[in-house]
Amino acid sequence: MLTAPHAFVLGHTVPIIGVYFRALELLGSAKDGDFAQAAELLASLDARQAGTIANVRRAEALLGELPASAGDPPRTPADYDAWAKRILDAVEAGADRSLATVHLAGRQCGSALQTINMAVYELALLDANAGDAQITGMIAQERSELARLSRSLRAASLMVPAGGETAQFADELDRTELDSLAETQAAMKRCADRLPRIEAALQS
């Protein structure tokens, strides 16, 4: 049986898995476009593979508690999008409203971490390709997405048992400016460190 803490973990795990696939797409395109540092950043994704596979298995196991299945695991960015949607659809169809709301809050937290992770890659590219308009535009889009997710999490905090911790996560997003690589990496760690606190609050 899927519990509230596990619904939250399932929610944030799926977008975190997506970091690998989004980065693969971004950095592969940047390498093809001869952006400086793109090949090195793309090669660094190898270190994420084992963790991504472990998270896919974790998500499948948690979804099995519903019980439900999302089908074949993702192997490409296109696979990932369809797989992530099947998980969302399965939870919305099979969980009660309160669990589905907790799962959605988890998705929003995970999506925020995905956005910050992608900004880390984009800022690393910008450091090596100073002033590039395309990369600057991507980072601006990440800022807009963080602002949207913060508003969504504040609304969710009124409906989930761990509302206080969820609102504090939104506060952290509001403080995240995505202006420098070091600051963004620090923000990513602060946000990641808040996830177990929300999970613990859901257990109480």
pLDDT value of residue 44: 95
Is residue 204 over pLDDT 80?
A: no
* pLDDT over 90 percentage in the chain: 97
Whether 176 and 146 have beta carbons less than 8 Å apart is answered as yes
pLDDT class of 152 with cuts at 50, 70, 90: very high
**HEC profile of 136-148:** HHHHHHHHHHHHH
Sign of the alpha-carbon torsion through 30, 35, 40, 44: negative
Q: What is the pLDDT of residues 83-113, one digit of tens each?
A: 999 999 999 999 999 999 999 999 999 999 9
Please report, as a single letter, which amino acid is at residue 203.
Q
* pLDDT over 70 percentage in the chain: 100
